[in-house]
């Protein structure tokens, strides 16, 4: 039942999900934390282990000096941190107290800083022949302080926040890959034998309350929301990891009209079921309209921004170009558009449809690719569910030509938002 629903909705995503163009992104770790699954426990184990190894080395080196009382203090704090590492590996839910962890890390950092100041002072007072005695402890302290900084960043990251508060809001611009990511997350859960719910905003076609549409139309169940959530919670507890309840693109369909009146109660409903993780995605331009700002301020939702291929543009371009049998250019693709998966996909398709296997030089070749890109946008916006105009009118081309003409006629370096809107 879970598999059929997920696969059907992934199919309805159409071109927004292409399995063969899948690139593993670091953002996926947030969903492991939300699920509290085995991968999440592996991430925790690795982070705690790396931290403990570096701190142990430093404290062992320092124990050979005087003032062992301070080293004992740091060892006691490290013991508390390792205790939390052990608790975090349990399958049953233990709230990871980040405040306590930070407090213990602060104790360790204080001892390291004190010894660093002490050794730095000795170094400055001794001649160079005697300085080698303190080089090893100083090096270990430097390494340990780097480990402390990395560990504090991890403690304060959204990964631990999601593990404790399983309500995620995925935000990003159009075409950045939100739907693709969520479809991939859902399919991976199903393939690994874990239950998952994936619903699409485009299927919310009326202004009825969300639960009415979910139960009667989208899932076709004869029960109320409490019965459904209770059953899903029991299912998740049996599978020993949270069940993800995903709604992609809440701004689509009729969502922008009914969600503002219902989203508070909808999110609160899930807070009564600890084995369920709620995931909502939304286009960034609709964020303030649909999601109450106070929900984010009160930590009732953890906001994650999807940056697409930002930072890995070269790897992503290489992969997409290889899939379309296009040669990589000799000059790196530095345009920010190439961090947008939809643009990169349409760019490659434009080259392929033009019978090209490399990016053409000069304006003529690039113009044909951009034309294809604009036509694809025109086709989408001409659909009845968007603006429902005859595709042959080429509205997008007229808008762009109008903007260009306006800039040239008035010798403008930029166009104001108001003028562009008109």
pLDDT at 66: 55
Q: How far is CA 337 from CA 173, 222, 343, 364, in A?
A: 12, 46, 6, 20
Compute the chain's Rg from CA coordinates.
27
Q: How far apart are the first and last CA of the chain?
A: 49
DSSP tag of 330: S
Q: What is the mean pLDDT of the chain?
A: 88
Tokens 């142990």 appear where?
A: 56
pLDDT at 364: 56
pLDDT at 341: 87
pLDDT at 67: 56
pLDDT at 188: 95
pLDDT at 379: 84
What would the pLDDT profile of 308-339 be if each residue is shown by its tens digit? 888 888 888 888 888 888 888 766 666 777 78
pLDDT at 228: 98
pLDDT at 326: 87
pLDDT at 311: 81
What would the pLDDT profile of 331-378 be if each residue is shown by its tens digit? 666 677 778 888 888 888 878 877 878 877 765 566 777 787 788 788
Q: Give rounded-to-5 percent helix, strand, coil for the chain.
A: 65, 5, 25
Integer Cα distance of 177 and 305 in angstroms: 11
Integer Cα distance of 385 and 297 in angstroms: 34
Number of neighbouring beta carbons within 10 Å of residue 245: 23
**Which portions of the chain are predicted below pLDDT 50?**
128, 131-132, 134
CB neighbour class for 32 (10 Å; exposed up to 12, middle 13-18, buried from 19): buried
CB neighbour class for 164 (10 Å; exposed up to 12, middle 13-18, buried from 19): middle
pLDDT at 356: 79
Read off the pTM: 0.84
Integer Cα distance of 154 and 26 in angstroms: 14
pLDDT at 370: 78
What would the pLDDT profile of 223-262 be if each residue is shown by its tens digit? 999 999 999 999 999 999 999 999 999 999 999 999 999 9
């Amino acid at each position: 039942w879970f598999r059929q629903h997920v696969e059907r909705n992934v199919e309805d995503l159409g071109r927004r999900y292409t399995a063969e163009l899948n690139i593993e992104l670091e953002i996926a770790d947030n969903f492991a934390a939300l699920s509290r699954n085995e991968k999440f426990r592996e991430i925790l184990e690795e982070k705690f282990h790396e931290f403990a190894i570096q701190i142990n080395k430093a404290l062992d080196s320092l124990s050979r000096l005087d003032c062992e009382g301070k080293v004992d203090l740091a060892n006691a704090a490290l013991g508390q941190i390792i205790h939390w590492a052990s608790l975090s590996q349990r399958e049953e839910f233990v709230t990871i107290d980040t405040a306590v962890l930070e407090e213990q890390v602060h104790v360790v950092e204080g001892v390291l800083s004190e010894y660093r100041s002490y050794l730095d002072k000795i170094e400055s007072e001794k001649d160079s022949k005697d300085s080698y005695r303190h080089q090893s402890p100083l090096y270990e302290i430097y390494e340990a302080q780097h480990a402390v900084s990395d560990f504090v960043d991890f403690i304060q990251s959204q990964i631990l926040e999601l593990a404790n508060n399983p309500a995620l809001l995925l935000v990003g611009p159009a075409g950045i890959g939100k739907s693709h990511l969520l479809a991939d997350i859902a399919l991976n859960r199903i393939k690994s034998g874990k239950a998952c719910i994936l619903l699409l905003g485009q299927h919310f076609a009326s202004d009825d309350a969300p639960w009415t549409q979910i139960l009667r139309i989208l899932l076709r169940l004869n029960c109320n929301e409490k019965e459904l959530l209770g059953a899903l919670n029991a299912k998740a507890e049996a599978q020993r990891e949270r069940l993800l309840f995903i709604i992609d693109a809440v701004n689509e369909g009729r969502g922008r009209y009914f969600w503002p009146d219902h989203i508070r109660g909808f999110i609160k409903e899930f807070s009564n079921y600890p084995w369920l993780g709620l995931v909502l995605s939304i286009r960034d331009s609709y964020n303030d309209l649909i999601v109450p700002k106070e929900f984010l301020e009160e930590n009732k939702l953890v906001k994650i921004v999807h940056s697409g291929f930002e930072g890995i543009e070269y790897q992503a371009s290489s992969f997409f170009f290889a899939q379309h049998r296009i040669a990589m250019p000799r000059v790196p693709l530095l345009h920010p558009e190439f961090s947008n998966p939809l643009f990169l996909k349409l760019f490659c398709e434009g080259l392929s449809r033009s019978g090209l296997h490399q990016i053409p030089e000069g304006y003529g070749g690039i113009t044909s690719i951009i034309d294809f890109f604009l036509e694809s946008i025109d086709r989408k916006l001409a659909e009845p569910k968007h603006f429902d105009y005859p595709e042959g009118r080429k509205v997008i081309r007229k808008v762009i030509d109008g903007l260009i003409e306006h800039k040239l006629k008035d010798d403008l370096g930029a166009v104001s938002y108001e003028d562009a809107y008109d």
